[in-house]
Chains A and B, each alone.
Chain A
Amino acid sequence: MTVSRSRRPGPARTRPRLLGLAARRNLTAYGFLSGALICFAFFSWYPMAREVVLAFQKNNFVDPPEWVGLDNIRAVVQDPAFWPAWRNTAMFTLLALLCGYVVPFAIALVLNELRHARGYLRFVVYLPVMLPPAVSVLLFKWFYDPGPGLFNQLLALVHLPGLSWLDSRDTALISLVIVSTWMNLGTGTLIYLAALQTVPGELYEAAELDGAGTFRRIWHVTIPQTRLILLVMLLLQIIATMQVFIEPYLLTGGGPEDATLSVVYLMYQYAFNYQNFGGGSALGLMLMLVLIVFSAAYLRLSRDNT
């Protein structure tokens, strides 16, 4: 303190300053910021604004764009594939939550009680997360093969009839959910496990003294103590699964009969199969609005509790 006091008033520099101290500081700071600012501006902020513009324009990128009001949105909503795509996405999200939200928590609860093989189990559960998603999805495409595929072979081993998995309307969507759960389960499990380890042991001891059994201890101690993480993960998972694309793109191509068409996949088809970026952007804008609601809730939660 005394050192800085003695130095500051007497300017050591004899050079005349062109700019004030504050201005120089700001200039330096923006110099440091420039790289990231340019990248954010071009590849994040500008595309966001452009999505809104494109959704209300007719644009073939040759002629000057033309404002068409709600025409793109109207055309997209009237597309017979529109409602199936949203229904499938909602259904996929719901099923993926049932599997991918409840199961990791249950696994984490069990793992937290085990005193042996902890390193192995944690390693193994996270292993699929480290595979590139395209590899996991293509691997399961082979497992789902109705002939020599692994799943029907395992069913045959226990004398059950084989399923047609991806080729049937009834099982295609759930097949996608299975892959998605398998390859994403590890993240949730490890995060819950970390959260469980922050629960103070005294609470369990107190609950035990009050005569609470195992399940009541989970219900009255574990879940309230990890409520925040559970909520945050719920929102994160909804946001992630609503963007489902790679599974239908690689496994089913949206079929059979639109049974696995997702919103993002439809958006992709609009842009790259029909060259209709207006319709695709309209879809993207709708999904963006839906996801912003969940994201805002999530950011609020995580800010209020940091």
Chain B
Amino acid sequence: MPPLTATRPPAASAPPRRKNVPARRRPKPLPGDQRTILSPHQLGSRWGRRIYWLVLVSTVLLFTAVFVFPLYWMVTGAMKSGEEFARIPPTYVPSSFSLDGYRQAWRLMNLDRFLLNTLWYAAGAWAFTLVFDVAAAYALSKLRPVFGNAVLLGMLATLMIPPTVILLPAYLTVKDVPIVRLDLLNTPWAIWLPAVANGFNIFLLKRFFDAIPSALLEAAQVDGASPLRTLWSIVLPVSRPILGVVSIFTVVNVWRDFAWPLLVLQAPEKMTISVGIASLRANMPQTTMTAALVIASIPTIVVFFLFQRHIMAGLTAGGLKG
């Protein structure tokens, strides 16, 4: 038996510490030999193992209760009839799994209109953000014009001022855009163009482009490639990870945003899904409302299922630095 497992024993020479415990019940080592606060020694002891399993099972149960059960309650709540919905004490499993509530919500609340609107706003915001912010970050990182640093500073300074505090003047600007004198209220432009003005995107993209070796770009220039050609054929292909992060966050932000679309898209036929559902909250029965909430959350949940890895990676990349 090793004296103290302070230093990791070589895997091959580690004898089973307790012969009567089946090997499969031992806590698996973390990937990459990650040592955490608790030592393998503590986790390996009889009490350590018991406490570990107790904590594991209670964490799984608690998390399921806190984070999954509300969603279960929402999905099944929308399947109940009005009478069953109001019953005290409630039924924990609906008496029939009927989709009528969902059909009614879809019909009564114009959800297809709201969903299509939101999709259109998100798609446009995505396209404009990718084109304009990538071009700008490329110019600031690789073409380095005069006053480039001042422009960069101005863009990053917007990170200090959250959009909420300039909500009113931004609304007035969209209502009557200076110089061109356009009223963008209730048009998709009110979502698309402000989405481009995102200092965080510029920061992420520029930082990524800065890490691309300049020799690579110079080689292309020597071969006679124009800056646009260089961006397209050399920079963009190696930037796919960061483009993915920026894309997902742009789309998800449009989908989640509430205060801004509440102000600039007030016409019922222009509303986003969040604002649309919220605007109908007073005159819909709660079952219908709940069904609408389920339908409204499906797209983002699907995106989460598909891009879970990217979202979590982008979150930590952004969270650490931005």
Contact = CB atoms under 8 A, between A and B. Distances in A.
B45 interface: no
Contacts of A25: 143, 145
Interface in A42-94: 42-48, 50-51, 54, 61
B167 interface: yes
19 contacts: A4-B218, A35-B136, A43-B170, A48-B169, A51-B165, A124-B64, A124-B67, A127-B67, A131-B300, A135-B274, A135-B297, A147-B86, A153-B89, A196-B36, A205-B39, A264-B167, A288-B165, A299-B156, A302-B321
A35 B196 contact: yes
Contacts, number: 316
B83 to A, nearest CB: 11
A212 to B, nearest CB: 10
A12 to B, nearest CB: 8
Interface of B: 4, 6-7, 27-30, 33-39, 42, 52, 55-56, 59-60, 63-64, 66-68, 70-71, 73-74, 77, 85-90, 128, 131-133, 135-136, 138-140, 143-146, 148, 151, 154-156, 158-162, 164-174, 177-178, 193-194, 196-197, 199, 202, 218, 222, 227, 231, 252, 255-256, 258-259, 263, 273-275, 277-278, 281, 286, 289-290, 293, 296-297, 300-301, 303-304, 308, 311-312, 315-316, 319-322
A102 interface: no
Interface string A138-150: 1101110101101
Contacts of A209: 4, 6
Contacts of B300: 130-132
B222 A143 contact: no
A285 B168 CA distance: 11
Contact of A205 (B35, B71, B252, B256): B35
B197 A39 contact: yes
Nearest to B59: A110
B6 A205 contact: yes
A17 B144 CA distance: 21
B86 A40 contact: no
Given A112-B36, A134-B277, A33 B139 contact: yes
A138 B202 contact: no
Contacts of B312: 122, 126, 190
B218 A148 contact: no
Interface in A107-142: 109-117, 120-128, 130-135, 138-139, 141-142
B159 A295 contact: yes
A268 B205 CA distance: 33
A36 B88 contact: no
B291 to A, nearest CB: 12
Q: Would you list the 7 A-B pairs with minimal beta carbon distance, nearest first? A: A201-B35, A35-B132, A29-B145, A36-B136, A295-B160, A134-B274, A32-B139
Given A37-B136, A138-B289, A284 B63 contact: no
A284 B170 CA distance: 12
Contact of B88 (A109, A110, A148, A306): A148
A15 to B, nearest CB: 13
Most B-side CB within 10 Å, residue of A29, A143, A222 = A29
Contacts of B34: 197, 201
B322 to A, nearest CB: 7
Contacts of B135: 32-33, 35-36
Given A143-B70, A208-B6, A271-B168, A218 B143 contact: no
A280 interface: yes
A45 B231 CA distance: 28
A191 B132 contact: no
B36 A113 contact: yes
A87 B256 CA distance: 27
Nearest to A41: B197
A296 interface: yes
B148 A42 contact: no
Interface string A202-227: 10110011000010011001100000
A291 to B, nearest CB: 6
A157 B315 contact: no
B89 A157 contact: yes
Nearest to A298: B160
A42 B178 contact: yes
Given A43-B173, A121-B63, A280-B168, A296 B160 contact: yes
Given A288-B165, A302-B321, 17 more contacts: A30-B145, A32-B139, A33-B139, A36-B132, A36-B202, A43-B174, A43-B194, A109-B37, A116-B27, A142-B290, A143-B73, A148-B86, A182-B66, A214-B38, A245-B259, A267-B168, A288-B161
